[in-house]
């Protein structure tokens, strides 16, 4: 978040997944088939199964988006590389080791860092993320086959994410022989990994290499899961909501767009209060009564007979006392782990809970949690749509990703509501993109 405005772009930072322009290639590596998702697959085995299964998916699906033309699998081969054995040249550019995975259109090949990137992604986030990385790269091959590459990079990246999601939707539906029984927990873990593959915060969406922030990328992936490859194929600059924004001033870029903790909490609470004073009457036809906010030290929460808690009791709304409370040390830890808008996500969740209780609606179970997430997102929608010339509080690059990261951190295992992180992000995004009216 920031309290100012102005004029400087941060140079594009490291982008982990990239598509290079131009290349040359060799033979078609055929993945030898271990079958079934045994727990002990090596990263190399997962990659082989992934490429084979994504190829299966496109063989079946490509004709539906190509006007009936058959799919031609990758012709230039699959090239794992290491620091001592760098990737093949691509489009006249010498192959240089990077912790990366890429599709090379010139040679029609896919290459990846088999030494660090892929093993790390698998051990930290599970094999599903590895498959999604390859489904994404294969998505770029599909774009070239369709002749649909004349779009800004950020659109092409979201489309490749959408295609990866289309593969995931197909696998979830039971069509993959290799990746079966995919669980919500595996998907949430893969989404957490995607957060690490985002652009550096502050990359302008007009930047040559912009891949999009994680918020937009997860949206595209979910779009593919829910609506399939035909929806992805229709992506263009005019029909995608792209929320990525550059840093608007030097000071903001230097701080990473983060306010100091105390100032962040103070600013966010005031802003949430002002938002609901305006929004609650629209929702209910009734006036909003200011909400009491009580920070507490770990272990000494204010008494409440019926707390509606989040994050294992680190914060709660108290219906009987009609106040919200949060563990100051734990909120600060969250701030340090994810950034200032992770605090915004918690404050927004607590206010949304208060809204639900005050208007006699549930916050419990999956539906209640998703309603809270949508209302929380509606506040973010309001923040995104303010006039930057007159407003002092506004979102910085990375704020939406911070919110999604915090949401996934809570959504996994701790909420007990039955709503997956995947569903919670979708509900939050619905509020962010469509505003309060989407949450009624």
Beta partners for 394? Answer: 2
Closer Cβ to Zn ion, 156 or 425, answer by number: 156
Shortest distance (Å) from residue 356 CB to Zn ion: 39
Taking each helix axis as running N to C, give the angle between helix 214-233 and helix 184-196, from 0 to 180 degrees, rounded to the nearest 10: 110
User: Please, what is the end-to-end C-alpha distance for the chain in angstroms?
Assistant: 27
Minimum distance, C-beta of residue 213 to Zn ion, in the bound complex (Å): 14
The answer to whether 267 touches 1, Cβ cutoff 8 Å, is yes
Minimum distance, C-beta of residue 232 to Zn ion, in the bound complex (Å): 13
Measured from the CB atom, the residue of 160 and 425 that comes closer to Zn ion is: 160
The tokens for 197 are 């593959």
CA-based nearest residue to 137, from 183, 78, 188 = 78
The span from the CA of 366 to the CA of 317, in Å, is: 18
- Torsion angle of C-alpha atoms 355, 357, 362, 364, degrees rounded to 10: 100
Question: What is the smallest separation between the CB atom of 362 and Zn ion, expressed in angstroms?
Answer: 41
Distance CA 427, CA 311 (A): 18
DSSP 93: B
CB of 408 vs Zn ion, minimal distance in Å: 21
Nearer to Zn ion, 161 or 399 (CB): 161
Closest CB to Zn ion among residues 160, 301: 160
In whole angstroms, how close is the CB of 156 to Zn ion at the nearest point? Answer: 7
For residue 12, the minimal CB distance to Zn ion (Å) is 14
Which residue blocks in 290-364 are alpha helix, DSSP H?
328-338, 340-358
CB of 200 to Zn ion, least distance (A): 15
Cβ proximity to Zn ion: between 141 and 160 the closer is 160
Nearest to Zn ion of 221, 375 (CB atom): 221
When the beta carbons of 13 and 365 are compared against Zn ion, the nearer one is: 13
CA distance to 382, 393, 433, per residue, from 387 (Å): 10, 10, 17
Binding site for Zn ion (CB under 5 A): 17, 19, 157, 160
User: Would you say 121 or 372 has its CB closer to Zn ion?
Assistant: 121
3-state secondary structure of 17: strand
Q: How far is CA 356 from the centre of its chain?
A: 26
What is the Cα–Cα distance from 311 to 406, expressed in whole angstroms? Answer: 10
Measured CA to CA, the distance from residue 257 to residue 250 in angstroms comes to 10
Token digits of residue 170: 């197909």
Q: Which is nearer to Zn ion, 17 or 432 (CB)?
A: 17
Selection from 126, 228, 142 nearest residue 187 by Cα: 126
Q: How far is the CB of 391 from Zn ion (least distance, A)?
A: 34
Q: Are 359 and 284 in contact (CB under 8 A)?
A: yes
């Amino acid at each position: 978040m920031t309290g100012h405005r102005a004029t400087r772009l941060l140079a594009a930072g490291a982008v982990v997944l990239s598509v290079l322009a131009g290349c040359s290639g060799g033979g078609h590596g055929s993945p030898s088939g271990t079958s079934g998702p045994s727990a002990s697959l090596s990263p190399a085995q997962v990659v082989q199964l992934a490429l084979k299964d994504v190829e299966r998916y496109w063989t079946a699906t490509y004709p539906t988006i190509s006007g009936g033309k058959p799919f031609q699998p990758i012709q230039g081969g699959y090239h794992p590389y290491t620091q001592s054995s760098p990737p093949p040249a691509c489009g006249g550019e010498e192959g240089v080791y990077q912790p990366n995975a890429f599709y090379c259109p010139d040679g029609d090949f896919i290459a990846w860092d088999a030494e660090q990137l892929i093993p790390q992604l698998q051990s930290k986030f599970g094999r599903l993320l590895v498959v999604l990385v390859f489904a994404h790269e294969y998505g770029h091959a599909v774009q070239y086959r369709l002749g649909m590459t004349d779009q800004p990079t950020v659109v092409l990246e979201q489309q490749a994410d959408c295609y990866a999601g289309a593969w995931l939707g197909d696998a979830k539906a039971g069509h993959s022989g290799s990746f079966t029984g995919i669980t919500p927990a595996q998907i949430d873990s893969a989404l957490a990994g995607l957060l690490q593959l985002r652009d550096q915060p502050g990359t302008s969406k007009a930047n040559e290499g912009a891949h999009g922030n994680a918020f937009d990328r997860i949206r595209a992936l979910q779009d593919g899961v829910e609506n399939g490859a035909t929806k992805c194929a229709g992506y263009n600059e005019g029909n995608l909501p792209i929320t990525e924004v550059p840093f608007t001033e030097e000071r903001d870029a230097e701080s990473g767009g983060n306010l100091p903790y105390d100032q962040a909490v103070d600013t966010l609470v005031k802003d949430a209060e002002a938002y609901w004073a305006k929004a609650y009457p629209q929702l209910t036809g009734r006036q909003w009564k200011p909400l009491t906010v009580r920070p507490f030290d770990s272990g000494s929460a204010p008494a409440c007979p019926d707390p509606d808690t989040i994050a294992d009791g680190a914060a709660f709304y108290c219906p009987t006392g009609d106040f919200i409370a949060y563990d100051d040390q734990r909120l600060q830890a969250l701030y340090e782990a994810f950034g200032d808008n992770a605090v915004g996500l918690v404050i927004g969740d607590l206010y949304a809970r208060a809204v639900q209780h005050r208007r006699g609606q549930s916050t419990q179970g999956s539906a209640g949690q998703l309603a809270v997430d949508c209302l929380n997102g509606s506040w973010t929608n309001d923040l995104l749509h303010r006039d930057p010339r007159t407003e002092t509080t506004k979102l910085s690059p990375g704020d939406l990703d911070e919110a999604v990261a915090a949401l996934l951190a809570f959504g996994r295992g701790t909420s007990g509501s039955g709503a997956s992180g995947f569903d919670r992000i979708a509900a939050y995004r619905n509020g962010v993109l469509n505003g309060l009216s989407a949450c009624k």
